[in-house]
Amino acid sequence: MPPCNFTPKKYKGPSYDNLMSVRKERLSPALGTYYSTPFAVSQGYKQWLFDLDGKRYLDMYAGICTVSVGHCHPEITEAVTEQMSTLGHISNVYLHPKIHEYAEKLTDKFPGDLKVVYFVNSGSEANDLAVLMARTYTNNFEIISLRSGYHGMSNQTMNLTANSSYKYPIPSMPGFHYAMNPDVYRGLWGGKHCRDSPVQTKRECSCTAGECKASTNYLEQLGDVYRYGIPKGRAAAFFAESIQGVGGTVQFPKGFLKGAYDMIKNSGGLFVSDEVQTGFGRTGEHFWGFEMHGIVPDIVTMAKGMGNGFPMAAVVTTPQIAQSLTKARHINTFGGNPVASAVGIKVLEIIEKEQLQENSKRIGTHLLLELEKLRQEFPVVGDVRGKGLMIGIEMVAGDGSKTPLETAKLMKYWERCRELGVIFGRGGYFDNVFRIKPPMCITKEDADFTIAVMKAVLYEMF
């Protein structure tokens, strides 16, 4: 394990058994835990987590792709302490300096007319507001999203999310439509030239230079949603992540989102880019994921890495679209409060000062290429994909098919990696995609340690 010059404080809180008892009796039973023996964390530092006994783990999941600049970054701690001692909270119905300073710094990161921001508190809330904004601006109602996409768990965004695992058995809201997911590994079409990634799927590809047949085919299927489900010219919005997160780090074929953008504009609607996981430099080459697709959305939603774990989110749009919310009173008590704004400002400064976007590209590309070697050696590694530090590894049966790896084996592999000191997440409809989305401050030594652990457990089990 790479060295770490940080010594955690001795844990003095409730025992593990007490935590488990409270979890069982006092917290919602809907709150699941990772691992057969739930992982209890007492402290974090940069890319490291420490359990109750002080054992150190490399966090390659970043609190579900949330900790962007590192756990307990001292500059963020200092900014929060200073702001709390000056002005902890005041509603945005009053002027306070930090929200105005942050609004300028954040919107300066966007191209074109994306210059107006609404601060909220979570990604679900941001996407919920984006639905409202699109409908009030266009005076249209129908919303389109992609199967396997995840956009939140509020009552409305649960309908925007197209995955049965996140749906309750209650009537769905009207006005939501789902298009075929353009997954070049598991979907109907795709091949080894389709993705904008250092690693391609192994499928054969009949595309020629400058042409992606998979993209064309998936766009034809998207066109069917408009033809048979949407009143002509009356769509409100199309929602998409730049790379699907919870859905299994799915990357779309080249040109698909550009085509989807043209389609929604021709149908009277707005393009909404969900940057909750792909924003703030995580994909490496760009600060925002949508930039890799050559589009400028009408609305952008963001959260997670925005606050490095502090509960904050935002919706950014154009001045014209922003006017739509003036049709009624609109307020958010905590959105953009002084402490949140101080955190957001400091996150932007650290990303730039520590060159974390560049680090995401460099370390992420190294990780992807090393993971590709594991795919070549071990048949159970079905696909490796991603960009920067937004990486997915799809585990399969290893018999030449795309049958998901048996759950018991998958869990054993996952648990064994944790025992050896590496934490990563899972996603995809079958929960067979390991999600690597660490703090963007990780080093090459951390990446090599991750590969060494994954390879050792692959040898041990397969």
pLDDT at position 52 is: 97
Q: What is the pLDDT of residue 206?
A: 78
Least Cα distance to 205 among 189, 216, 217 occurs for 189
Q: What pLDDT does residue 118 have?
A: 98
What pLDDT, on a 0 to 100 scale, did the predictor assign at position 210?
74
Mean pLDDT of 237-260: 97
pLDDT tens-digit series, residues 279-306: 999 999 999 999 999 999 999 999 999 9
Q: How confident is the model at residue 257 (pLDDT cuts 50, 70, 90)?
A: very high
Q: Give the pLDDT confidence score for residue 207 in this predicted structure.
A: 80
What pLDDT is stored for residue 208 in this prediction? 76
Q: Which pLDDT belongs to residue 144?
A: 98
pTM of the model: 0.97
Report, as an integer, the average pLDDT of 237-254: 97
237 band by pLDDT with thresholds 50, 70 and 90: very high
Entry field: residues in the chain: 462
User: What SS3 class is residue 48?
Assistant: strand
Query: Which residue do the tokens 């990303």 mark?
Result: 351
Helix (H, G, I), strand (E, B) or coil at 53: coil
**What's the mean pLDDT when you consider all of the chain?**
96
> Given this model, what pLDDT does residue 423 score?
98
56: left (phi over 0), alpha (psi -120 to 50) or beta: beta
Rounded mean pLDDT, 113-135: 98
The predicted pLDDT at position 211 comes to 82
Question: What is the separation of C-alpha 153 from the centre of its chain, rounded to a whole number of angstroms?
Answer: 14
Q: Which amino acid is at 230?
A: I
| Mean pLDDT score, 101-105 | 98
Band the pLDDT of 348: cuts 50, 70, 90. very high
The pLDDT tens digits of the residues spanning 17-26 come to 999 999 999 9
Residue 227 has a pLDDT of 96
Average pLDDT for 318-326: 97
* 363-410 pLDDT, tens digit each: 999 999 999 999 999 999 999 999 999 999 999 999 999 999 999 999
- Give the pLDDT confidence of 201-223 residue by residue, as tens digits: 999 887 876 789 999 999 999 99
CA distance 356 to 280: 9
pLDDT at residue 107 tops 80: yes
Indicate whether 119 pLDDT > 80.
Answer: yes
Give the residue-averaged pLDDT of 337-359: 98
pLDDT for residue 132: 98
The token duo for 366 is 């190294």
Task: Tell me: pLDDT of 97 over 80.
Answer: yes
Instruction: With beta carbons less than 8 A apart as the criterion, state whether 98 and 83 touch.
Output: yes
Domains of the chain: 16-65+356-461 (3.90.1150.10), 78-353 (3.40.640.10)
The span from the CA of 124 to the CA of 221, in Å, is 27
The answer on pLDDT for 194 being more than 80 is yes
- CB 216 within 8 Å of CB 249: no
The string of pLDDT tens digits covering residues 146-184 is 999 999 999 999 999 999 999 999 999 999 999 999 999
pLDDT score of 92:
85
Which one, of 173, 255, 270, 196, lies nearest residue 220 by Cα? 255
**Percentage above 90 pLDDT, the chain:** 96
| Percent above pLDDT 70 for the chain | 100
- pLDDT reading at 444 higher than 90: yes
